[in-house]
Chains A and B, each alone.
Chain A
Amino acid sequence: MAKADLMDFDKALELFEPVLGFEVHVELSTKTKMFSDAPNPANSENVTAGPNTQITPVDLGLPGSLPVVNRTAVEYSISLGLALGCSIAASSRFARKNYFYPDLAKDYQISQYDEPIAFEGSVEVELEDGTVFTVPIERAHMEEDAGKLTHVGGATGRIQGAEYSLVDYNRAGVPLVEIVTKPIFGAEHNAPAVGKAYVSTIRDIVRSLGISEARMERGNLRCDANVSLRPRARAGEPPAPLGTRTETKNVNSMRSVERAVRYEIQRQAAILAAGGSITQETRHWHEDTGTTSPGRPKSDADDYRYFPEPDLLPIEPDPKLIESLRAALPEAPAVRRRRLRESWGFTELEFQDVQNSGLLVEVEETVAAGAAPAQARKWWTGEIARLANAQNAEPAALITPLAVSEIVALVESGELTDRMARQVVEGVAAGRARPPRSSRRAASRSSRMTAR
């Protein structure tokens, strides 16, 4: 839909009530995969040697191979479930989701269906204006990732028109937790912001748990956004039934989540107001144009022929294990935010700035590495955010907190001027320089890095 054909956002909200739902896939950073002992590429310590090198017969689905559950992945999933306020199932089961696709080695995905490991929770998310909104969680379940297809030939890089496709099974079997919300009502004008804040909160939770590297640009965290609209009920009338939803797939930055939700509300409102109807389908998000386009039609009758995975036993975690994981949970994001704001001595506005840029963890880690809070904030929300914006990347993808803290130290010790430091940051971000090491830590002063 051309942008001009979209309905004005405020007008759309006047006529319709948006109902949201999110499916967030989190790649766990275990050493090995969900069902095999192949190195897990979602753990960046496992350096890949190229396509189809991080695989075993299990990941290729070779005849005769059998899955074995990764205990660490189960523990990570329980921790995540607990952090989402969920109940942990005394017994949960894997199931097979059957469909043919070349990136799916066995032509079925081992997932969880009617017996997920975690269910019924909620997450508090904080919007940019400080409003706290509660997102209800339906379930969190374990599953394996599929491989990756590269379509060669053809202009679009899509499967249509491609001459042939290459499959890389390195990602096949990467442990995933899929977090599914219940329908989210009442977000209203804040709907796009709720989407962004929700994904940001999930990212903060998994990073604080240390169970995922949570780099959206690498696909460690992937969001599918469900949006539907229903007409506003007139006073005294019961609410209208839920409208037909679309599922926008792989919205892979927090800003995009916000944009995609806003776009779908405006698009659907225009169609509905013109007397049209919404097709239930998956939609692709286009980062460059800020629009969505139809994917495949999706109906509730999609038949995956789920049945209990006979190669695996039910997961029945020891209650003592659950309690010890509960005791080891880091503080809840809201509590943590209050604590950090106080200990850093930021004004409300300064703190919001960090929070809204999704840089809380970066600043925290930079401070932990020795930098003054004000300096950490200055670099992350200033120069690094600017570079990231220019490159359309996440700030965390450009430079590590440790490197930032060392640059701060070099400035403080007078070894770098502010201008030189900015050049260093730019060099590191562009991959042209290695992160510096402060002379306070390095044995030799000659180890200074410069942008070349």
Chain B
Amino acid sequence: MSGVGLTASASAMADALAAGEVTSVELTQAHLDRIAAVDGDVHAYLHVNAAALEAAAAADARRAAGDGVHPLTGVPIAIKDVLCTIDMPSTAGSKILEGWVPPYDATTVARVRAAGMVPLGKTNMDEFAMGSSTEYSAWGPTHNPWDLERIPGGSGGGSAAAVAAFEAPIALGSDTGGSIRQPGAVTGTVGVKPTYGGVSRYGAIALASSLDQVGPVTRTVLDAGLLHDVIGGHDPRDSTSIPDAWPSFAEAARAGTREGSVKGLRIGVVEEMSREEQGFQPGVLQRFRESLELLERQGAELVEVNAPHFRYAIAAYYLILPAEASSNLAKFDSVRFGMRVTPPGGGTVEEVMAATREAGFGPEVKRRVILGTYALSAGYYDAYYGSAQKVRTLIQRDFGSAFERCDVLATPSAPTTAFKIGEKVDDPLAMYLNDLTTIPANLAGVPGISLPSGLAPEDGLPVGIQFMAPARQDARLYTVGAALEQALVDAWGGPLLNRAPVLA
């Protein structure tokens, strides 16, 4: 492949395609070759698209004809397995959906295709997006390209690892409590959870309907903005989709790289999420503070803010999420689609349903279905689900009062760098704490971005910084994110991923 390297950003690839320096077929083939070379070790993909080259040829033809060319036309993309694809199995990382090919595309997938992007395949994830390490995938764990012994985060570890290992320039993820942002942090990539309602959920296999959002997983902030522009906007098939028009997030990212873009920007530092005794690794905090100093030097103003109810976020989240999930996952009953297990000697429909769910769901899914069923039960509803919804309101108020004093909030994206595979898999509570900083944004419906802030000195692994903005103000995240990214890349002398070990 001439013209552009595999480590280039998606926007650089798009520029090379536009300049005729490379074709989509060449670019796609290069990625398929890369997947063949390294995915045996990384295991980012569950399915590689057999028709990728055809889609690439169609994109090239579209470009040659000058017919409705979009900025990302011809750029390959990886798709999280939680999203329905009409031409590829969509299992959400679960055995219960083994081989299931939906009769429709998710709206986000349809929009990606309509823009002429080339689906490379489906990426690994924790089963039904329940997890923070991708170890709960029914199809085996994904390995972090920075250290194959370590987790790539979760639930979207596959998309993040694919992008970090140059097996895809850009990917789609979904974020219910941090499943885009936390994998981004531990793999040195960029991830955005849009405002709730900003991106259609139609065709995203539901985990917790009031928390789920689809979003971009990329290597640069501009790439995330470009993809957000493709997938975002109103969808009449999702009643929770916001009907308003949105500004261009790619433009917001470009604005961030201009001189003085963060001058006067008030960055709120959440006091409750910035100290070691709150469970943060020293190197994570060190890079976090350095990033904030860089922004301060560019004219941003740091404001300390309090969010007293954030400490209850995990507790509330682990009632609301399982409650909704227990209902959303009821449909996996063997009657219409997916796995069916008949007990020896036959059985009633109830027995077949039970046997199927027993065999088809993994331990974390069962844990949360049981938890959620309990939380919604008569006599417990008020104490559990009801109280959790009240906490949710209090967290929304915390955001409201914080945003009276600042334009964006900053926290580390995750408390630690990537841990070892197997380290927390038997300790659900330790696993749940990984999403300490990302969960509040989902509970409040506000947007969040994670981007690399460096390597932790103690282990040399990637660290992420998170910014959050008021609902519908996603553009602010792209502007501040791009500004910081530019300053950091200048300081590092190149993208952080250049420092990742060479695979294969």
Contacts and interface: CB of A to CB of B under 8 A. Distances in A.
Question: Secondary structure of the B side of the interface?
Answer: loop
Contacts of B333: 100, 102, 107
Interface in B89-131: 90, 92, 97, 100, 102-104, 106
B376 A98 contact: yes
Contacts of A67: 239
A100 B349 CA distance: 10
A57 B83 CA distance: 14
Contacts of B324: 307, 310
A313 interface: yes
Contacts of A102: 333, 335, 349
A311 B201 CA distance: 10
A307 B323 contact: yes
A301 B205 CA distance: 32
A234 interface: no
Contacts of B385: 307
Nearest to A52: B336
Contact of A307 (B206, B238, B381): B381
A107 B330 contact: yes
B353 interface: yes
Contacts of B97: 63
A69 B239 contact: yes
A65 B206 CA distance: 9
B103 A62 contact: yes
Contact of B331 (A63, A165, A310): A63
Contacts of B100: 63
Given A57-B103, A107-B331, A68 B206 contact: no
Given A64-B206, A102-B333, A108 B327 contact: yes
B29 interface: no
A167 B349 CA distance: 12
Size range of the interface on B? 35 or more
Contacts of B210: 310
B239 A307 contact: no
Q: Which of A98, A107, A301 has the most CB of B within 10 A?
A: A107
Interface in B239-266: 239-240
Question: Secondary structure of the A side of the interface?
Answer: loop
B433 to A, nearest CB: 25
Contact of B349 (A60, A65, A105, A165): A165
B330 A108 contact: yes
Interface residues of A, number: 30
B240 A65 contact: no
A374 to B, nearest CB: 53
A64 B202 contact: yes
Interface string A58-80: 00111111111100000000000
Contacts of B378: 301, 303, 305
A148 to B, nearest CB: 14
A107 B333 CA distance: 8
A100 B332 CA distance: 10
Contacts of A105: 331, 336
A301 B378 CA distance: 8
B377 A63 contact: no
Contact of B330 (A57, A64, A98, A307): A98
Contacts of B326: 98, 305
Given A63-B100, A107-B330, 6 more contacts: A57-B104, A61-B336, A62-B104, A64-B203, A305-B327, A306-B376
8 contacts: A62-B337, A63-B97, A64-B84, A68-B238, A303-B377, A305-B327, A305-B378, A305-B381
